[in-house]
A and B are shown apart, each in its own frame.
Chain A
Amino acid sequence: MRRLLAALIMMLFSASTLAENASEEKQASDELQWQIMFELALVHDPTILEVAELDSVWSFIGGGLYLDLSYKGFFIQTNRYRANTFAGEFGYQLIERENWGLDLVSKVYLPGFDPEAIQSYNKKKTPDFEKLNERNIGAGFALRYSHYTDKDLFTADLATLNPSFGNNSWLVDLYYSHLSIYQNWDIYTGAGLTYYSRDVVNYYVGVIPEESSENFAVYQPGDGFKAEAQVFGLYPLSKSWTLSLGVTQSYYSSSFNASPVGFRQNITQLKLGVRYVL
């Protein structure tokens, strides 16, 4: 972990120096730029936990407030998960060039869960589930490299989840998205690959001796990954409204799926909604 932090700090200093040296090329805008969207959508958004059921009408209604804001290099932006309002991203732009950039980003990479709360909502009770400890959200800091053209975006995050998960918790998150324009439609196709370090997976899906029981054997699987594919479409309905629809298919490695806690290996998220753009 120390080595990872040291590497991040080194990269940060290098990036800052690079940015200063090339300040004349930096295209950062100091002016305030913002965009706000409200969305109301029908969603199919199962959680990663098999035991958490989608058992009410509200489980299928999604949307929320999407905020994109930028000022003096700082930014808040919506993330790439279109099927839910998982979280936004807060960051600082270290370098911005014509086709690439380097940012320092803070975001949530994995949702947390509270076994006790899940049990209280579920009709079907799982014995000993309440013995599991609460899992913190996987929030962390990342150094993000982005490469972009008018129709393509590639990002690579090297992130530490140390504040949330502790120990040697880090991940590498790669994502590529391509924009295709068909008449008035914008169609985004994306693919992502996330590698989780051993301590991330052990903390999140593992079972430590203190949590173990007849139903939950001790489980410490080591590292893992997630692959995902995404298609998302937008269509203008009026000057302020757009139609949004999309599907995201995620696949988790067997280190997640083999956990006795019960994690889904394949997750399909669907969305059909309307957005109001301010």
Chain B
Amino acid sequence: MFCSRSLLISIALLTAFPGHAVPVTDIVETEQQVNKFSAMPATCITLRQGRKCFATVTINLELSKLGDYCIYQQGLSEPLRCWKNAVPKVLSFAFESSQKTVYTLKDERSQQIIAKTSVEVSWVHQTISRKRRWRIF
């Protein structure tokens, strides 16, 4: 009994929780200087494949000059938030999606997308058809 517990503890220590994935920023080359545009957490984890994942996502920005900026979520025509003649630094919002979602930073004066980032959705258990056999509780 003690051996099995020690083994469990060892396994637990050896496979310590991995941190959230490193946020990916895709900065578009323009005259606008975007130093940082990243979302945290970069991955939202749900229990089962196909489920909606919920998280409070924070997008951190580092911009070098004042401007009119908007952040858009892929698939939505309305921006999540806009700033006028400002240097935005952070945006937090409630994330709710079952798939990878891309966020874009747009310069409203030039109408150009100047940076992109995304939140991935991953899961612990794959969805399988034989629902009664695979209880995850």
B partners with A: yes
22 cross-chain CB contacts under 8 A: A29-B129, A61-B5, A63-B8, A64-B4, A65-B4, A77-B133, A96-B130, A101-B132, A146-B132, A148-B131, A177-B137, A186-B137, A236-B46, A236-B47, A236-B124, A238-B17, A239-B124, A240-B15, A240-B18, A242-B47, A276-B15, A277-B124
Is residue A70 within 8 Å, beta carbon to beta carbon, of the partner chain? Answer: yes
* Chain A 164-199 interface 0/1 with B at a Cβ cutoff of 8 Å (1 = within): 000000000000010101011010100000000000
**Interface residues in chain A, defined as those with a beta carbon under 8 Å from any beta carbon in chain B:** 27, 29, 33, 35, 38-40, 58, 61, 63-65, 68, 70, 75, 77-78, 82, 96, 101, 146, 148, 150, 153, 177, 179, 181, 183-184, 186, 188, 232, 234-242, 244, 274, 276-277
List 12 additional contacts besides A63-B8, A153-B135, A181-B51; criterion CB under 8 Å.
Answer: A33-B130, A38-B11, A40-B12, A63-B5, A64-B8, A70-B130, A177-B137, A236-B123, A239-B124, A241-B15, A276-B12, A276-B15
A58 near B1 with CB under 8 A, answer yes
Is residue B104 within 8 Å, beta carbon to beta carbon, of the partner chain? Answer: no
Most buried by A among B53, B125, B136: B136
* CB-based nearest B residue for A277: B124
B window 2-19: CB within 8 A of A: 2, 4-5, 8-9, 11-12, 15, 17-18
A186 near B11 with CB under 8 A, answer no
Determine the chain B residues whose CB is within 8 A of the CB of A236 once the complex forms. 45-47, 123-124
Determine the chain A residues whose CB is within 8 A of the CB of B134 once the complex forms. 33, 35, 68
In the complex the two chains form, what is the Cα distance from A75 to B133 in whole Å? 8
CB distance from B124 to the nearest CB of A (A): 5
Most buried by A among B9, B12, B18, B54: B12
The one of B11, B45, B48, B135 that contacts A276, using a Cβ cutoff of 8 Å: B11
* CB-based nearest B residue for A148: B132
A184 near B46 with CB under 8 A, answer yes
* CB-based nearest A residue for B133: A70
CB distance from A61 to the nearest CB of B (A): 6
Q: Is the interface of A mostly helix, strand, loop or mixed?
A: strand
Q: Is the interface of B mostly helix, strand, loop or mixed?
A: mixed
CB distance from B103 to the nearest CB of A (A): 20
Given A33-B128, A274-B12: A238 and B45 within 8 A (CB)? yes
Determine the chain B residues whose CB is within 8 A of the CB of A65 once the complex forms. 4
Total chain B interface residues with beta-carbon distance under 8 A: 33
Determine the chain B residues whose CB is within 8 A of the CB of A239 once the complex forms. 18, 45, 122-124
* Chain B 29-69 interface 0/1 with A at a Cβ cutoff of 8 Å (1 = within): 00000000000000001111001011100000000000000
* Chain B 107-137 interface 0/1 with A at a Cβ cutoff of 8 Å (1 = within): 0000000000000001111001111111111
CB distance from A56 to the nearest CB of B (A): 11
CB distance from B17 to the nearest CB of A (A): 5
* CB-based nearest B residue for A29: B130
Determine the chain A residues whose CB is within 8 A of the CB of B137 once the complex forms. 82, 177, 179, 186, 188, 232, 234, 244
Determine the chain B residues whose CB is within 8 A of the CB of A181 once the complex forms. 51
Most buried by A among B45, B46, B137: B137
* CB-based nearest B residue for A244: B137
CB distance from B14 to the nearest CB of A (A): 10
Determine the chain B residues whose CB is within 8 A of the CB of A27 once the complex forms. 129-130
Determine the chain B residues whose CB is within 8 A of the CB of A148 once the complex forms. 131-132
In the complex the two chains form, what is the Cα distance from A63 to B47 in whole Å? 20
In the complex the two chains form, what is the Cα distance from A131 to B137 in whole Å? 40
The one of B8, B124, B129, B132 that contacts A38, using a Cβ cutoff of 8 Å: B8
Determine the chain B residues whose CB is within 8 A of the CB of A101 once the complex forms. 132
Which 8 A-B pairs have CB atoms at the shortest separation, nearest pair first?
A183-B54, A236-B45, A148-B132, A188-B137, A40-B8, A236-B47, A236-B124, A40-B12
